[in-house]
Amino acid sequence: MMQPINYLMRGVRVEILSEDTIDFFANEAAKFLGVDKRTRKKMDTFMEMLEEYGIVIDIVADDEWLDITNAMCNNGTILLPNSLYSRICLGEDEAIFIFFHELGHLLLGHKAMLHHSDTLPTKQEDSEWQADEFAKCILRKMGINYIPEQLSLKF
C-alpha cells in the first residue's frame, strides 16, 4: 500500500480550494477589475484603482523595509517596498506576480488562525499555494507566462 505524501506547508492552513475553484475566483476578479493584456503597462493606475474597493497599497521606503519577505498583506492593505513598486510599474514579470500573489491572499480571504487537525495538510489547504495559483491565473489573463521560483520568507 502506498504511503500518503507529506505536503510541506509554506503558509497557513486555510479552507481547501481546488485549482479549478481558484481559477474561477481569479477569472471573476480579473473581469471585475478589468485585468487584460493592457494592464501590465498601467500597473500604477491599476493599483491606485484598487482603493475604490477598499484595498490599500502602502509603499514603504526601501531603507525602512524589513527584508524578510518580498511583500505582505494584512486587513485589506498590501505593503510593498518602493523598489518592488517601481519594478511592478516597469512591468517586470516577477514583480507583477508578487503583487498579484498578495492580492490573491486578500481576495481569497486568507486569515492566519490556529488550526488543529488529525489529518495531514494538502497543498489545496496551503495559503501560499493558493495565492501562487491565483497570481498565475491573473498573469495568464495579462499575457504573461511566468512560473515563479518557490516564494518564501528569507531567513
At residue 26, the pLDDT reads 97
Residue 49: Cβ within 10 Å count = 13
Q: Are the C-beta atoms of residues 53 and 67 closer than 8 Å to each other?
A: no
For the segment 56-79, the average pLDDT, to the nearest whole number, is: 93
- pLDDT tens string 12-42: 788 889 999 999 999 999 999 999 999 999 9
Alpha helices in the chain (DSSP H): 19-33, 43-49, 82-89, 93-107, 127-141
59, 85 Cβ separation under 8 angstroms:
yes
CA 10 to chain centre: 13
Only one residue has cell 481576495, namely: 107
Give the whole-angstrom CA distance, residue 121 versus residue 46: 35
Residues linked to residue 58 through DSSP beta bridges, in sequence order = 79
The pLDDT tens digits of the residues spanning 100-110 come to: 999 999 999 98
Q: What is the distance between the alpha carbons of residues 143 and 40, in angstroms, rounded to a whole number?
A: 9
pLDDT tens, 121-149? 788 888 999 999 999 999 999 999 888 77
pTM: 0.87
According to the model, what pLDDT value does residue 4 have?
54
